């Protein structure tokens, strides 16, 4: 029998948690919380989701993207097309060696693409968050004739894109968006936690400006410094991932932060030999840069003043309380 469903996308961040708390306070019927697990979350976020489920009594469904099919397709492509294109056999063999699903959605996505996402090619939000939610939760419910109210924890003061969103709109096919905290400021979000007796994700009290991927490809300089000091294992993991994705790359280079946009004093890293790219733009170099003050050689934030909305869609899929950055190495 068809019915109305209220679905809250939770990330473990404060805004989506506050949205869930509003839905609980309003006694939304058929309430379901859904978490799209990117595989690049901090352990404390997984623990927080367990806590949130237990303290609210609302089950949190976990969904995950699976790129096994795409990786198998990429293997076939490499075996034929790369060889036809004259890509060195050592590069072909290196890529084939790592083109195996690991079960970690973030890493598998990057292995499939042969690169990490970047601000200009931010495929992570859609591939890791939007699509699994749609395919595994939203579409099956709609196909069964249900109506869905999708509760989104976005706030107007987060970005220009979000400033002009309506509080409620109809997508079509029985799907509606509802943004109950659109006009809220940050203190109101934390007040909702206090009022409902729910603790915020502890990562906020550990120097993190946002909760979601750790790190996010758009993380702030100061946040990267905090991550490296408090959670060095996270940097070690990204370092390992860089080596794997580098191997899957046709160009032999893949860095977590720089994407294809990073530059250094002589221009874009795009045309540089792979070894040089890895030397100047790896996660380890980004961490070094994050610890620099003004003066001397330093990296700078290319887009600190740009619209913060580029990270996440307007649907609140990524908690985006940050200023997006790309790394540019420049002489001070
Ligand atoms: S934009 Fe950041 S938080 Fe969102 S999926 Fe990409 S890396 Fe993760």
Ligand 1 close to Cβ of residue 320 (< 6 A):
no
- Two structure tokens written together for 137: 């939760």
Range scoring the smallest mean pLDDT among 23-37, 115-129, 227-241: 115-129
pTM score: 0.86
Q: Provide the pLDDT for residue 258.
A: 66
Ligand 1 close to Cβ of residue 213 (< 6 A):
yes
Q: Provide the pLDDT for residue 123.
A: 95
Helix (H) or strand (E) holding 329: strand 327-331
Ligand 1 close to Cβ of residue 38 (< 6 A):
yes
Q: Is the pLDDT of residue 313 over 60?
A: no
Strand 297-301 and strand 267-268: the pairing is unpaired
Ligand 1 close to Cβ of residue 311 (< 6 A):
yes
Q: Which 3 state secondary structure label does DSSP give 217?
A: coil
Distance 305 CA to ligand 1 centre (A): 19
Distance 217 CA to ligand 1 centre (A): 6
Ligand 1 close to Cβ of residue 124 (< 6 A):
yes
Task: Give the total residue count for the chain.
Answer: 332
Question: How many C-beta atoms lie closer than 10 Å to residue 178's C-beta?
Answer: 20
Q: Is the pLDDT of residue 304 over 80?
A: no
Ligand 1 close to Cβ of residue 269 (< 6 A):
no
For a substitution probing ligand 1, which of 38, 65, 132, 161 has the most ligand atoms within 8 Å of its CB? Answer: 38
Let me know if domain 4-66+123-206 sits in CATH 3.40.50.620: yes
- Two structure tokens written together for 313: 């869609």
For a substitution probing ligand 1, which of 133, 218, 323 has the most ligand atoms within 8 Å of its CB? Answer: 218
More confident site: 281 or 28: 28
Ligand 1 close to Cβ of residue 235 (< 6 A):
no
Q: Is the pLDDT of residue 323 over 70?
A: no
Ligand 1 close to Cβ of residue 310 (< 6 A):
no
Q: Provide the pLDDT for residue 134.
A: 95
Rounded to whole angstroms, the Cα distance separating 276 from 265 reads 13
Closest residue by Cα to atom 8, ligand 1, is: 213
Distance 296 CA to ligand 1 centre (A): 31
**145: phi > 0 → left, psi -120 to 50 → alpha, else beta; which?**
left
Ligand 1 close to Cβ of residue 128 (< 6 A):
yes
Query: What average pLDDT score do residues 252-281 get?
Result: 69
Quick: pLDDT tens for 150-189: 999 999 998 887 888 999 999 999 999 999 999 999 999 9
Q: Is the pLDDT of residue 129 over 80?
A: yes
Residue spans of the domains in the chain: they are: 4-66+123-206
Query: What average pLDDT score do residues 79-103 get?
Result: 95
- Two structure tokens written together for 162: 């979000």
Q: Identify the band that residue 1 occupies on the pLDDT scale cut at 50, 70 and 90.
A: confident
Query: What average pLDDT score do residues 308-328 get?
Result: 42
**Which residue, among 326, 311, 263, has the nearest Cα to 160 in the 3D structure?**
311
Ligand 1 close to Cβ of residue 58 (< 6 A):
no
Ligand 1 close to Cβ of residue 218 (< 6 A):
yes
Rounded to whole angstroms, the Cα distance separating 199 from 197 reads 7
Query: What average pLDDT score do residues 84-98 get?
Result: 94
Rounded to whole angstroms, the Cα distance separating 119 from 309 reads 10
């Amino acid at each position: 029998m068809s019915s109305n469903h209220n679905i809250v996308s939770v990330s473990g961040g404060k805004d989506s948690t506050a949205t869930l708390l509003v839905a609980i306070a309003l006694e939304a019927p058929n309430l379901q919380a859904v978490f799209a697990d990117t595989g690049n979350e901090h352990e404390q976020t997984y623990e927080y989701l367990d806590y949130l489920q237990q303290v609210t009594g609302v089950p949190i469904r976990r969904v995950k993207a699976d790129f096994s099919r795409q990786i198998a397709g990429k293997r076939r492509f490499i075996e034929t097309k790369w060889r036809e294109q004259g890509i060195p056999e050592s590069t072909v063999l290196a890529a084939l060696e790592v083109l195996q699903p690991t079960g970690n959605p973030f890493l598998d996505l990057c292995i499939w693409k042969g690169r990490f996402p970047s601000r200009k090619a931010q495929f992570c939000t859609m591939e890791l968050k939007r699509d699994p939610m749609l395919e595994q939760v939203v579409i099956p419910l709609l196909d069964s004739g249900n109506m869905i109210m999708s509760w989104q924890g976005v706030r107007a003061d987060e970005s220009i894109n979000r400033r002009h969103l309506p509080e409620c709109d109809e997508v079509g096919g029985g799907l509606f968006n509802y943004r109950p905290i659109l006009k809220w400021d940050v203190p109101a979000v934390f007040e909702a936690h206090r009022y409902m007796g729910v603790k915020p994700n502890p990562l906020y009290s550990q120097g993190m400006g946002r909760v979601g991927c750790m790190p996010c490809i758009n993380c702030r300089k100061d946040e990267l410094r905090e991550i490296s000091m408090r959670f060095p294992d996270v940097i070690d993991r990204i370092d390992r991932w860089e080596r794997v994705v580098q191997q899957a790359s046709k160009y032999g280079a893949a860095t977590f932060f720089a994407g294809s946009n990073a530059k250094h004093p002589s221009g874009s890293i795009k045309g540089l030999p792979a070894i040089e790219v890895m030397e100047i733009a790896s996660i380890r170099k980004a961490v070094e840069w994050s610890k620099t003050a003004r003066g001397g050689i330093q990296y700078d934030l290319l887009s600190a003043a740009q619209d913060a909305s580029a990270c996440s869609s307007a649907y609140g899929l990524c908690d985006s309380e940050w200023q997006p950055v790309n790394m540019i190495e420049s002489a001070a």
